[in-house]
């Protein structure tokens, strides 16, 4: 059934995202979009995978999903990313390198938890697909770039 497929999707989406991110060229496209257009890569990949699996949500629910993901991202993901990027530039000894690796792991875990929140909120929803394209519209990514991504 559709509900069972959605449950499986939500339970496995982070692992699918990691595999997708590891595909040739995907990481560089995502990082460029993140840097140049403030794309929230976990949300984009979540929505792209939901689209490819035939899941959707209406516009109101989509906004709610983005608000909750954005709140988590602002509080945890972005501060950890800033700290990691700052540390990356100044690592000088073994202890600092180890600390950098711990922050990097914490940033990845914060993204996993963001995706878990998205999946938990997404599970009971229904609606039209095109989630990835609608997400890119909400952040006003220029159409040629959004289409390429």
Q: Where are the domains of the chain?
A: 2-148
Percent of the chain surpassing pLDDT 70 = 95
pTM of the entire structure? Answer: 0.90
Average of per-residue pLDDT across 76-88: 94
pLDDT, position 113: 97
Q: What is the mean pLDDT of the chain?
A: 91
CA distance 80 to 65: 21
In this structure, are residues 70 and 40 in contact, taking their beta carbons and an 8 Å threshold? yes
């Amino acid at each position: 059934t559709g509900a069972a497929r959605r449950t499986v999707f939500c339970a496995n989406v982070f692992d699918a995202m990691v595999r997708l991110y590891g595909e040739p060229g995907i990481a560089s496209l995502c990082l460029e979009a993140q840097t140049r257009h403030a794309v929230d890569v976990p949300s984009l990949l979540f929505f792209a995978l939901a689209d490819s699996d035939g899941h959707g949500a209406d516009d109101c629910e989509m906004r709610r999903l983005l608000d909750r993901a954005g709140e988590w991202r602002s509080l945890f993901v972005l501060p950890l990313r800033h700290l990691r990027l700052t540390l990356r530039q100044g690592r000088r000894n073994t202890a600092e390198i180890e600390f950098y690796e711990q922050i990097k792991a914490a940033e990845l875990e914060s993204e996993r938890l963001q995706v878990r929140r998205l999946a938990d909120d997404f599970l009971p929803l229904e609606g039209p697909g095109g989630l990835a394209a609608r997400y890119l519209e909400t952040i006003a990514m220029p159409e040629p770039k959004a289409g390429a991504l």
